Amino acid sequence: MSSTEQTIFDIISKTCSVPRDRITLDSTLKDMDVHSLDAVQVLFEIEDKFDISVPEREDQYSAGTVRDLIEGVDQLLAEKVAAKATA
Amino acid sequence: MRRVVITGMGCVSAMGTSAVTTWAGMREGRAGIGPLMGLDDKTLRTPIAAQARAFVAAEHFDEKRLVLLDPVSQYALVAAREAVAQSGLGFDGERAERTAVIIGTGIGGASTQDQLARRLYGEGNPRVHPMAIVRVMPNAPASQISLEFGLRGPVFAVASACASSNHALGQALMLLQSGVADVALAGGTEACITVGTVKAWEAMRVLADDTCRPFSKGRRGLVLGEGAGVFVLETLDHALARGAAILAELAGVGMTADAADIVMPDASGAARAMRAALAHAGLALDEVDCINAHGTGTLANDATETRAIRALFVSHADALAVSSTKSMHGHALGAGGAIELVAVIGALREGVVPPTINYLGADPECDLNVVPNTAQERPVRAALSNSFAFGGLNAVLALRRWA
């Protein structure tokens, strides 16, 4: 399990009161009966933890699977590193 | 029961600095939403808002007075002046003691709070302005109106987020019906376009980035607005005795809570509030010709509100004109219902239902006549005005044409 994956599993579990063993890479937040307000809080916790901005209204982050979310966050982290390197 | 009528209206909104200009803009479907301006923060993501751009504080207040007034009170005072002038009322003698002031606000003095926090925590400046408290308190708008006109009856603020205006107007209606007061200045005010408030709304991910398109396909959320609406209400006997020109009858109010969710709207709570307003007003379903919808432009509200209207009105639902003027003046939170009452009074008096602008096409979940893009001319005998707030609080006003 990558550290991004680990952190995101922790955030979902804590923010949404979902037991860790119920979270899988293939489940969506909706599958886990996560309330829309909790989903917004998950994105906030991710932004705060990784110091990134998660784009609005992109299904990859809000409506996709946990795998989509992790891949999206890894991509945002890579863009952040690249931006720093060119700055 | 004593009947209650409206004899004066005043407004500040993104459409203009009076009820007259606001209604003229609503009738013609003018856009009040524009680029967000005047906020000094590079991290803001929101590009648009419905700001009261034409409002210049110095045109209405001298410097000494302005020290005491957050914009939330400035807007309310300017609206109250217009309403009182139109009503022709003076407040000499006993009338002042029989006049109530009830003004709703969702937040209160948001810019004062924002500036205070910036100074203290951002700039490390420990000196806070001595008038901060009297500017920031949510009852400041009601108190400032009481002070300016010398009104000495029941005066207080009402806070129920986006339903604050309608709760305030409903409370005033009941005070007049019960005989506690003969006249009331009532409505709502909000000055919420501050860095802190806009960022907090951004964080909820409900703000549109293009514009506000209630009931439309492709709608992307709400757009924050600001302003105030204040109305002179009086008992029918009081108005007739002085030969006042009557704008409309405020016939009923319905108030309910969902007790379901802190943010997600609930169709049954909304429908119960509309039903209660009609019952209070003694109106039948088929007497209602139009509804000023809460219509925020979020996916959840507009679909839920449509279901609520269909559930209550059944076969009459398709005969209704249901528009959301938030498409023009944005979502002014605690001032929303009061600004929208300008639209309802205009529709009752002129037989013109203002449009829902920015409409791109039908959403099957919002399949009422939402008056897309252009106003509709039709006689309006009675109307409802819906406000539904975070916290699951619903307040609906019922109005009857005065003919």
Name residue, tokens 């886990």.
Answer: A32
**What confidence score (pLDDT) does residue B183 get?**
98
Residue B231 lies in a domain: yes
ipTM (interface predicted TM)? 0.84
Any catalytic annotation for residue B331?
A: yes
In this structure, the answer to whether residues B155 and B262 fall within a common structural domain is no
Which of B212, B294, B329, B366 is labelled catalytic? B294
Last residue of a domain, one of B241, B262, B294: B241
**Residue of chain A minimizing CA distance to B46:** A56
Q: Domain residues for B42?
A: 4-241
Q: Do A40 and B203 touch (CB under 8 A)?
A: yes
How many Cβ pairs closer than 8 A exist between chain A and B?
A: 20
Count CB-CB contacts under 10 A for residue B289. 21
For residues B295 and B170, state if they share a domain: no
Does pTM top 0.90 for this prediction? Answer: yes
Q: Which residue has the tokens 């922790």?
A: A10
Q: What is the mean pLDDT of residues B61-88?
A: 98
Q: Among the listed ranges A50-64, B132-146, B209-223, B377-391, which one has the minimum average pLDDT value?
A: A50-64
pLDDT at A19 over 90: yes
Q: Which of B212, B241, B270 is the endpoint of a domain?
A: B241
The overall average pLDDT reported for chain B is 97
Phi, psi of B305 (to 5 degrees): -65, -40
> What one-character DSSP code corresponds to residue A17?
T
Q: What is the pLDDT of residue A62?
A: 77
Percent of all residues in chain B with a pLDDT value above 90, rounded to a whole number: 99
Local structure of B113: helix, strand or coil: helix
pLDDT at position B1 is 82
pLDDT more than 90, % of chain A:
70
Largest CA distance in chain B: 63
d(CA B26, CA B34): 16
Domain membership flag for residue B70: yes
- Give me the domain span that covers residue A70: 3-86
Does A59 score more than 80 pLDDT? no
Q: How many domains does chain B have?
A: 2
Q: Which amino acid is at B184?
A: A
Interface of A with B in 29-68 (CB under 8 A): 35-37, 40, 43-44, 53, 56-57, 62
Closest by CA to B321, choosing from B293, B360, B282, B283, is B293
Q: Pairing state of beta strands B352-353 and B227-235? A: unpaired
State which H helix or E strand residue B228 sits in. strand B227-235
Catalytic residue, chosen from B162, B192, B212, B290, is B162
Q: Which of B31, B35, B64 is nearest to B48 (CA)?
A: B35
Using a CB–CB cut-off of 8 Å, the residues of B that contact A are 45, 203-205, 209, 220, 261-264, 300
Q: Look at residue B246 and tell me if it is in a domain.
A: no
Domain boundary among B241, B267, B297: B241
Q: How far is the C-alpha of B215 from the C-alpha of B194, rounded, in Å?
A: 27
DSSP 3-state assignment of B252? Answer: strand
- State the CATH number of the domain containing residue A52: 1.10.1200.10
- pLDDT band of A36, cuts 50, 70, 90: confident
Which pLDDT value is given to residue B324?
98
SS3 B185: strand
Residue B156: HSE in the Cβ half-sphere, 13 Å Cα cutoff: 8
Mean predicted confidence (pLDDT) in B184-205:
97
- Does B267 share its domain with B382? yes
Could you tell me what percent of chain B has a pLDDT over 70? 100
In chain A, which residue's Cα lies nearest the Cα of B221?
Answer: A57
Residue B373, domain CATH: 3.40.47.10
Would you say residue A56 has pLDDT above 90?
Answer: no
Closest C-alpha to B33, from B295, B187, B226: B226
Q: Is B204 exposed, middle or buried (0-12, 13-18, 19+ CB in 10 A)?
A: middle
Q: Distance (Å) from the C-alpha of residue A81 to the closest C-alpha of chain B?
A: 19
**DSSP output for B265-287:** --HHHHHHHHHHHHHHHT--GGG
Structure tokens at B14: 């993104």
pLDDT score of B168 more than 80: yes
Angle at B213 between CA B201 and CA B109, to 5 degrees: 35
Q: Which of B205, B220, B300 sits opposite A40 (nearest CB)?
A: B205
B37/B179 same-domain check: yes
Residues A57, B220: C-beta atoms closer than 8 Å? yes
The string of pLDDT tens digits covering residues B286-322 is 999 999 999 999 999 999 999 999 999 999 999 999 9
Residue A60 pLDDT grade (very low, low, confident, very high; cuts 50, 70, 90): confident
Residue B45: its chain A contacts at CB < 8 A? 53, 56
Region B220-248: what's the mean pLDDT? 98
Intra-chain end-to-end CA distance of chain A, in Å: 31
In the three-class reduction of DSSP (H, G, I as helix; E, B as strand; rest coil), residue B225 is classed as strand
CB nearest to B204's CB, from A40, A57, A62: A40
Q: How confident is the model at residue A37 (pLDDT cuts 50, 70, 90)?
A: confident
User: In the block, which residue shows the tokens 């929208």?
Assistant: B340
Q: Is B212 a catalytic residue?
A: no
**Does A37 contact B203 at a Cβ distance shorter than 8 Å?**
no
Widest pairwise Cα distance in chain A: 42
The runs of H, that is alpha helices, within B110-234 are 110-117, 132-136, 140-149, 164-178, 195-204
B247 domain-assigned = no
Residues B154, B277 within the same domain = no
| End-to-end Cα spacing for chain B | 20
pLDDT value at A1 more than 90: no
pLDDT at res. B229: 98
> Do residues B299 and B190 both lie within one domain?
no
The predicted structure's pLDDT at residue B171: 98
Q: Is B294 a residue of the active site?
A: yes
pLDDT at A63: 82
**Domains of chain A: total:** 1
Nearest CA in chain A to B262: A37
